[in-house]
Copies of this chain bind each other. A is one copy, B any other.
Amino acid sequence: MFKKIVIGGTFNRIHKGHRSILNSAFQIGSSVVIGLTSDRFASRFRIEKVPPYMDRKNNLIKFIEKFKKPYDIVEIDDSYGIATIDPEIDCIVVSEETLLRAEEINAIRFKKGLGKLTIVVVPIVLANDGKPISGDRISSGEIDIEGNILKS
């Protein structure tokens, strides 16, 4: 078991892919720190409007309370946030598409003399059409949060 796991994201609606990462993190960690993107940072690479930080945070809390484990939600304004700062963090859970970011975080930690993190790479969850589930595809009404096709 890991002492303190870090994950990050925008968590606009808790879709199947989010749940896979959250489940893994809470199952193998004694505690979890979640870096939740600020409104400014979340909108930077998105076309669709992202719900406000507090809505996303409350939604997330509703989902993770069932794990009955200590957690912390911190606002992040870049992709590194607390992961390159906290010496107690020992593991990061990412999806296949963000593995490179985790490797970058480890390179920064190494340079700073902090221990590298164990990286847990969770497979991307696919929608029924075999393409990845993503917040953008859900926001545009293409699929639902379970990966069912709504329009083609």
Contacts and interface: CB of A to CB of B under 8 A. Distances in A.
Interface of A: 1, 24, 27-28, 106, 115-123
A121 to B, nearest CB: 4
Contact of A1 (B27, B119, B120, B121): B27
The A interface, classified by DSSP as helix, strand, loop or mixed, is: mixed
A63 B27 CA distance: 25
Nearest to A119: B121
19 contacts: A1-B27, A1-B28, A24-B118, A27-B28, A28-B28, A106-B123, A115-B123, A116-B123, A117-B123, A118-B120, A118-B121, A118-B122, A118-B123, A119-B119, A119-B120, A119-B121, A120-B120, A120-B121, A121-B121
